[in-house]
Amino acid sequence: MRHYFLIPLSQLTLAILLFIVGGQTLAGTLTETDKSVRSIVSGIVSYTRWPTLSNQPKLCIFSSSHFVQALSDSKPTPLPYTPQIVHNEAEALAATCDAIYFGHESPANQLAIFANYQGRALLLIAEQNPECVIGSAFCLIINDDTVRFSVNLDALSRSGVRVNPDVLMLARNKKHE
């Protein structure tokens, strides 16, 4: 009689083991660049204050981003924001985001979206805006395995959010990758 219970028990044990190992493998699929982008974006958001926000900020992540998974997966560590993936400008506007992370949207598109949010504090971060002259307040500079960021102080001053000055100093430091 014991033999009949051993087979289902061993199958259950194997299933649990595969689930645990599979979950660890999935969490381990982030590259070093993914982890750097996630860390930098999380840091920027963590040190940003919105004038009327009492909960976690909502970060809308454009689906055109190379880092959607890294920025939206709350494992292995919790995120300092609530991620929401958006596919276009209309979805971003309807989502009433507190921050927006752009993928391939041009700096002109970034400005147009910001213009439609007038009167609300909105932090803009871009991964494809290397000059960082117009558009987003923070721009990631991704070269091979290094990730840095720069700040557009003009855009930041119009954003309605306050960012800890230490973050701004990091943007000047070329070794913060």
Say what percent of the chain tops pLDDT 90.
Answer: 64
d(CA 66, CA 72): 12
Residue with tokens 């087979």: 7
Cβ(62)–Cβ(101) below 8 Å = yes
Res 16 pLDDT > 50 = no
Res 30 pLDDT > 50 = yes
pLDDT tens per residue across span 145-177: 789 999 999 999 999 999 999 888 887 655 444
d(CA 119, CA 148): 30
pLDDT band, residue 8 (cuts 50/70/90)? very low
pLDDT tens per residue across span 37-72: 999 999 999 999 999 898 999 999 999 999 999 999
The predicted pLDDT at position 153 comes to 94
Say what percent of the chain tops pLDDT 70.
Answer: 81
Residue type, 69: Q
pLDDT tens per residue across span 67-110: 999 999 988 789 999 999 999 999 999 999 999 999 999 999 99
The predicted pLDDT at position 173 comes to 58
Residue 98 burial (C-beta neighbours within 10 Å; 0-12, 13-18, 19+) = buried
pLDDT band, residue 28 (cuts 50/70/90)? low
